[in-house]
Amino acid sequence: MDAPRRTRNGPRRSEAARVAVLRAADDLLVDSGFQAVTVGSIAERAGVSKQTIYRWWRSKIDILLDVLEEDLPDDVTSRPPGTESAQEVLTGHVTHLNRVFTRSDTGRVLFVLIGHALQDATTASALRNQVLDRRRGHARARLRNALACDAPGALPRQEADRLLDLLAGPVFHRAFMTGRPTDPLFAERLAATVLTCRQGTPLDGAPAAGPTL
């Protein structure tokens, strides 16, 4: 058994038991849907007590947040930073989002948490702060590096975030509203359209402001 892991709240826990709980929650969600995911059903499938789970997590939502944090793939590339064009980076990001939304069990966990977040501000905050912001930071850094190679001058953080928003919206809409994945041509054209919007002026028509890390 691996060394015990200390959680954010302090208690020490067995790594093997932690992994069993996360896998049990993920499997139950995929096999039986959100309503079947309860602390009791997770405990039974993982082979631990409910009391043990409640020492580490406050609810099944907290467990699913940890499932998502662990399983959500990073938007990574094997190419060295600064060697990809902006078109390549944006197209790759669209392809990555499509993979998450439509081709993985992780996408199901994400959609369940998004649905719950719409009704619960605490879940919404935890989803952003615990999981999504870090991955958005990776995507932002890749985009800013790529645009710095394509054109002189640093891309302000605020404008990079607008570009990422323009990419994510259509992919999410297509996956959620139609259930259809994006194809390579869709990804390429979306990336090209967003880059065209960016040329010349900031996306909101006003001078870009905010920190430029």
The two structure tokens encoding residue 54: 């409640």
Instruction: Yes or no: say if 46 and 33 are a contact pair by the CB < 8 Å rule.
Output: no
Q: What is the pLDDT of residues 106-139, one digit of tens each?
A: 888 999 999 999 999 999 999 999 999 988 998 8
CA–CA distance, 119 with 110 (Å, rounded to integer): 15
- For the chain, residues classed under CATH 1.10.10.60 are 10-70
Between 123 and 3, the higher pLDDT residue:
123
pLDDT at 181: 80
Q: What is the pLDDT of residues 163-209, one digit of tens each?
A: 999 999 999 999 888 888 889 999 999 999 998 877 644 444 443 33
Tell which CATH classification among 1.10.3720.10, 3.20.20.150, 3.10.20.30, 1.10.10.60 matches the domain 10-70: 1.10.10.60
Which residues make beta-bridge pairs with 75? none
- For 70, the 3-state DSSP assignment is helix
Domain 73-198 CATH superfamily: Tetracycline Repressor, domain 2 (1.10.357.10)
Q: What is the pLDDT of residues 74-110, one digit of tens each?
A: 776 656 666 778 899 899 999 999 988 887 788 889 9
The count of residues in the chain is 213
Q: Which of 16, 9, 14, 18 is nearest to 42 (CA)?
A: 18
In this structure, the number of other CB atoms found within 10 A of the CB of residue 53 comes to 24
- For the chain, residues classed under CATH 1.10.357.10 are 73-198
Global pTM value: 0.77
Segment 52-77 mean pLDDT:
89
